[in-house]
Amino acid sequence: MPKLIECVPNFSEGRNPAVIKEITDAMASAEGVSLLDVDPGKATNRTVVTIVGSPEAVVEGAFRGIQKAAQLIDMRGHSGEHPRFGATDVCPFIPVSEADMQDCIACARALGERVGQELNIPVYLYERAASAPHRRNLAKVRAGEYEGIADKITKDEWTPDFGPAAFQPKTGNIAIGARDFLVAFNVNLNTTSVRRANSVAFDVREAGRVKREGDPITGPVVKDAEGKPVREPGACKAVKGIGWFIEEYGVAQISMNLTDIGVTPVHVAFDACVDSAHRRGLRVTGSELVGLIPLKAMLAAGRYFLEKQERSVGVSEAELIHIAVKSMGLDELTPFDPREKIIEYKIRDASASRLVAMDLRAFADETASESPAPGGGSISAYAGALGTALGTMVANLSSHKRGWDARWQEFGEWAAKGQAIKDDLLALVDEDTAAFNRIMDAFRLPKGSDAEKAARKQAIQDATRYAIETPFRVMQRSLDAMPLLEAMAKDGNPNSVTDAAVGALCVRSAVMGAFLNVRINAGDLDDKAFVEQTLAEGNKLVAEAQRYETEILAQCDKVMAKG
C-alpha cells in the first residue's frame, strides 16, 4: 500500500459557496489528490477541507488551495466566531497509511517554504513541525488573531519561519503543521443526564477533574502548597472529553477527541468509558464515529475484542471490521458503512483490484476469454492465495477446537500470518496483470525520433523488469505460506490434515507457475546480471517449495494411516 497523508486546511470563508468551490476545485485538480470532505460553517465563517494522497500530491493540492484562497479571500473584511489570523488559517498534515510523522513534518516544511517564497505569505510551523517549543501550541501561534499581527510579527520570538516578517493585510498569516490523526468519537449512555455523562468523561479524559474533599461534586477544592487546585488525571492520555445531551437521539454522550490514537486507540477509550459507566450504575449502549478513521484503527479494535474473547485474530479484514463495529456499537444510532467511514476504503481505486473483485465464475470466464491477461502469473498468485487460505482455515479450526482451549493463541498467531500472506497474494493477482499491461503500453509508445526511440526502449526495459519482479514476489510470498501449512499438517486439527496438504499442492504450483513467468520475461531484459541472480534465487525457491510439499504430503499420509 502506498504512503497516504491527510491534509486538513481551514479557510476563512464559510458563507460564499462560489468561493469555497473555487478553492476546493483548485485542490482537487492536483494529480493524486482525493477530496474527501468539505465542511463550511456560516457562524464561524470558516470551511474545513479534507484531502488525502501521497506526500507529493497533498503538498501540491494544499498549495493550490492556499494560492486560490489568497486570491479570493480578503481578511480585511472577515469576521467570524472562530479564532483566525489568515485567509488559509491552518494547514495540518496527518499520517494515515504507511506514512509516519517525519513524512508529515517534511510536507509541512516543504509547503511552508513554497508558500513563503511564491505567495509572499508569512508562515509559522506548529505542532510536531514547530521550529521552537513556544510555537508548538496553535493557540499561542494564533494569539492576538488577525488584528494583532501587525504588532506581533515585529517581535523576534514571532519572526515567521518562512515568508516576509511583515504584516500582509489581505492574506494575513498561515500556520502549517504536522499532527497525529484526531478521531472524534462519541460514546452513548443509557441516561439523559449531562451531569452523569460528565462524570464518565472526567474519569476518562487525560485532564481528569479538580480534586475535591468528600463529595466529588460539591466538596471543597483541594489545593496544593501554592494554592493551586489539585487535579486527578483521567484514565486515558491524549483524550479530551466532555458530556452532553443529544436531543435528536434522546441520549447523553461522552464526546471525545482522541488526539493520538497511537497513545490511546479508539477501543481503549471505549472500554474506559464502559468501566467508568459500570462503576456509576450506567451502561454504555453504543458509540458514534464523527468523520473518518484509518483502517489500522478499526483492525486493531477488531483484534482487541477477539483477543478478549480468546478467539483467533487470524480472520479476514472484513470480519475484523465487523467485530469492531458490533463490539463498540458503532451502528447503534446510524448505519456504519466502512466504505464511507474508513479513509483507505473511501479513496480506494476500484480499478486496482478489478480481478479480485470478480466472483468466481466471472474470474474464470475472464481468464478463459481471448484476452491474454489474466494469465499464468495472476493464476499462480491466486493459487497461492487459495493454498494459504486453506492453511489459515486449519489454524482457525484448531484455535477453536474443543479441548484445545489452551492453544487458541498459538493457532491464532498462525492464522494471522496466513491472512497477511493471503491478502498480499490477492493483491498480486491484479498486479501481475498490471505488469503485463505495462509492457503492452510501453510497446505502444511513439518511435518516430531518436529521442522517442530511446524513451520507448527504456520504458520497455523498465516494464520488463517489473514483469519479472512481480511474479518473483509471488514466488517469495507463496513460499512464506509453507511453514504455516507444515505446522498445520503436523500439529493442527487432524481432521483437516488433507486441507493442509491440498494447500501445499496449491502453494507449490504457485511457486513453480510464477517462476515460469519470471523465466519467460527474463529473456527480454538487457540487465543480464540481474537476470542471472533472479533465476538462481528462483531455482532455490522452487526446490524449497518442492521439499515442503513432499514433507507435508508424507505427514498427511501418516495421519491418515492412523485412521
Report the percentage of the chain scoring pLDDT > 70.
Answer: 98
Classify residue 213 as exposed, middle or buried by CB count within 10 Å of its CB (0-12, 13-18, 19+): exposed
Query: Catalytic residues, which ones?
Result: 82, 432
pLDDT computed for residue 229 by the predictor: 86
> Is residue 357 scored above 90 in pLDDT?
no
pLDDT digits (tens, 9 = 90+) for 313-328: 999 999 999 999 999 9
> Is residue 435 scored above 80 in pLDDT?
yes
**187 with 254: CB under 8 angstroms?**
yes
pLDDT computed for residue 106 by the predictor: 97
pLDDT computed for residue 97 by the predictor: 81
pLDDT digits (tens, 9 = 90+) for 485-495: 999 999 999 99
> Is residue 215 scored above 60 in pLDDT?
yes
HEC string of 298-329 equals HHHHHHHHHHHCCCCCCCCHHHHHHHHHHHHC
**255 with 288: CB under 8 angstroms?**
no
pLDDT digits (tens, 9 = 90+) for 155-213: 999 999 999 999 999 999 999 999 988 888 999 999 999 999 999 999 999 989 888 88
Task: Please state which of the ranges 77-81, 151-155, 261-265 shows the lowest mean pLDDT.
Answer: 77-81
pTM: 0.75
pLDDT computed for residue 144 by the predictor: 94
> Is residue 547 scored above 60 in pLDDT?
yes
Give the three cell numbers for residue 38.
Answer: 468539505
> Is residue 350 scored above 60 in pLDDT?
no
pLDDT computed for residue 373 by the predictor: 79
Give the three cell numbers for residue 413.
Answer: 498467531
CA 258 – CA 182 distance, rounded (Å)? 5
Confidence of residue 214 (pLDDT cuts 50, 70, 90): confident
pLDDT digits (tens, 9 = 90+) for 91-149: 999 998 889 999 999 999 999 999 999 999 999 999 999 999 999 988 899 999 999 99
Confidence of residue 343 (pLDDT cuts 50, 70, 90): confident
pLDDT computed for residue 300 by the predictor: 96
Neighbours of 335 (CB within 10 A): 9
Domains observed in the chain: 4-178 (3.30.990.10), 183-346 (3.30.70.670), 350-561 (1.20.120.680)
pLDDT computed for residue 115 by the predictor: 98
Classify residue 211 as exposed, middle or buried by CB count within 10 Å of its CB (0-12, 13-18, 19+): middle
pLDDT digits (tens, 9 = 90+) for 256-287: 989 889 899 999 999 999 999 999 999 999 99
Cross-strand partners of 123: 162, 174
Q: Considering only residues 349 and 45, tell me which one the structure prediction assigns the higher pLDDT.
A: 45
Q: What is the mean pLDDT of the chain?
A: 93
| Average pLDDT over every residue of 306-314 | 93
| Average pLDDT over every residue of 236-249 | 90
Place of cell 500439529: 491
CA distances in angstroms from 20 to 10, 13, 61, 73, 437, listed in the order given: 11, 7, 15, 10, 40
pLDDT computed for residue 411 by the predictor: 94
pLDDT digits (tens, 9 = 90+) for 284-303: 999 998 778 889 999 999 99
Q: Best-predicted range by mean pLDDT among 108-117, 331-340, 348-357, 391-400?
A: 108-117
Confidence of residue 499 (pLDDT cuts 50, 70, 90): very high
pLDDT computed for residue 213 by the predictor: 80
CA 442 – CA 446 distance, rounded (Å)? 9
pLDDT computed for residue 268 by the predictor: 98
> Is residue 477 scored above 60 in pLDDT?
yes
CA 399 – CA 384 distance, rounded (Å)? 23
| Average pLDDT over every residue of 399-419 | 90
pLDDT computed for residue 378 by the predictor: 94
> Is residue 26 scored above 90 in pLDDT?
yes
